[in-house]
Amino acid sequence: MNTDNNIVVTATSAAAATAVAVVDTQEKTNPVLEQQTTTNTETNNTTDGDTTVTTSTTSTTTEGVEGVAVVVELTKSQKKKQVRQERWNAVKDLKKAHEREKTKEKRKRKKQSMSSEERLELNRVKMQKKRDPSEIDWWGNIIFDFQHASLMGQREIKSLITQISFAYGNTLRLERPLFMDFCSFTGPVKESFEALQGYINWKVGRHEQSYMDLYKKEELVYLTAESPNIIKELDPTKKYIIGALVDHNRYKGLTYNTALEQGIETAQLPISEFIQLSSRKVLAVNHVFDILLKQTVNNDWKKSFEEVIPSRKVAKEGEEDGEEGEDQSGQDGEEQDSNNINNKEKEIEIESNTNTNNGKDENTTTDSLTTKSIE
Ligand SMILES: C[S@@+](CC[C@H](N)C(=O)[O-])C[C@H]1O[C@@H](n2cnc3c(N)ncnc32)[C@H](O)[C@@H]1O
């Protein structure tokens, strides 16, 4: 075993073998420093299942320079494993590059087939996204209430973030967008948003405080499927609240009861007045937001519902507007909506990479993704 300025690892597991990979040759190339070296050697033997790791550590200090050389001895099967892993990584990289190329081509083809009006519209949207929030003619405010976010698991948080990302992309396409105001925005959900590429540039409100501390009670309307009040018209002077929650029907009536306790107005969307749903009337966060968004333009609830609610949710003849959440597939609607969006996450990752690689404005990352959801 080599103990001279080296850490020698003999391992029968790939994990142990790949744990060391650094060779610092700094002092080896400096004979003057080599002469002034002091060496301490420590040897450890660890046995973990079928893995034996012998570590001999020599720390060498040469006038403030720490030098460590590493030699890794791999068994035959570990070498094979390593080769397989490297091959797999190369295939993965190729696949990713291919997907990126395909997306680029698709976008190019789409641009080429656009009419001049569509091109003008695209440019208008691009300009809008670059504008300062104070220059935008916002239609009104929609509050996203994160106060119940601790009830969500990591997967649900991820799903919520995807939904809100789509909603964000859609609002900024409008001439008069809806401003998204995040309240009680703290903890893991906030951290997960912050890890999202491009999020830092989002034109949204971010508050740790509750909407109760920020706005007058009379301005607030909590949108909740359980409310006995049915919304007739959208009022731009009101601040509508959406529960920022993916709960797969676990907490039925949660936001309604919260609003009741806080003494603020509640309302449900007028779904059953205009369309028949095959499942219960609790919609996913992004669908509620998109319906409001469409309604600001259409001023026609039926049209707005039809443009947003997935056709599989609309009841066929003979089906009733059910109370409980599961449809024929055994999944509740919110789960299916999340799944549909999550299926696009692959595209999201690829798109983000593309944009980063092209060195484009970070803000375009999410926006171009969200565009996909409505195409
Ligand atoms: C997936 S739901 C969350 C359901 C949750 N159990 C609750 O108590 O609100 C997400 C949010 O969308 C809004 N929402 C969903 N369906 C709605 C409807 N039919 N009318 C009004 N708001 C709705 C509510 O703000 C709700 O909190």
Domain boundaries, the chain: 6-74, 114-374
Q: Using CA positions, which residue lies closest to atom 11 of ligand 1? A: 243
Atom of ligand 1 nearest to the CA of 243: 27
Per-residue pLDDT of the chain (375 residues; tens, 9 = 90+): 433 333 333 333 333 333 333 333 333 334 333 334 444 444 444 444 333 344 444 444 434 445 556 667 889 999 999 999 999 999 999 999 999 999 999 988 988 898 888 888 888 887 777 778 888 999 999 999 999 999 999 999 999 999 999 999 999 989 899 999 999 999 999 999 999 989 999 999 999 999 999 999 999 999 999 999 999 999 999 999 999 999 998 999 999 999 999 999 999 999 999 998 877 789 999 999 999 999 999 999 999 999 999 776 666 554 443 333 333 333 344 444 444 444 443 333 322 322 333 323 333 333 332 322 222
Integer Cα distance of 172 and 158 in angstroms: 22
Q: What's domain 114-374's architecture?
A: 3-Layer(aba) Sandwich (3.40)
Binding site membership of 242 for ligand 1 (Cβ less than 6 Å):
yes
Q: Which of the listed residues 255, 293, 339 should we mutate to test ligand 1's pocket, taking the one with most ligand atoms within 8 A of CB? A: 255
Q: What is the pLDDT of residue 171?
A: 95
Binding site membership of 308 for ligand 1 (Cβ less than 6 Å):
no
Q: Using CA positions, which residue lies closest to atom 27 of ligand 1? A: 243
Q: How far is the CA of 279 from the centre of ligand 1 (A)?
A: 14
**Tokens 């033997």 correspond to what residue?**
45
Binding site membership of 143 for ligand 1 (Cβ less than 6 Å):
no
Marked catalytic residue, from 137, 145, 213, 247: 247
Binding site membership of 279 for ligand 1 (Cβ less than 6 Å):
no
Q: 59-97 in b/e burial notation, b at 16+ Cβ within 10 A?
A: ebebeeeebbbeebebeeebeebeeeeeeeeeeeeeeee
93 in active site: no
Q: Which of the listed residues 157, 282, 293, 336 should we mutate to test ligand 1's pocket, taking the one with most ligand atoms within 8 A of CB? A: 282
Binding site membership of 88 for ligand 1 (Cβ less than 6 Å):
no
Binding site membership of 245 for ligand 1 (Cβ less than 6 Å):
yes
Q: Which of the listed residues 211, 275, 288 should we mutate to test ligand 1's pocket, taking the one with most ligand atoms within 8 A of CB? A: 288
Q: How far is the CA of 256 from the centre of ligand 1 (A)?
A: 9
Q: Using CA positions, which residue lies closest to atom 8 of ligand 1? A: 254
Q: How far is the CA of 187 from the centre of ligand 1 (A)?
A: 22
Helix 345-357 vs helix 333-343: crossing angle, to nearest 10: 30
Q: Do residues 30 and 65 touch, judged by C-beta distance below 8 A?
A: no
Atom of ligand 1 nearest to the CA of 282: 16
**Tokens 């995807």 correspond to what residue?**
162
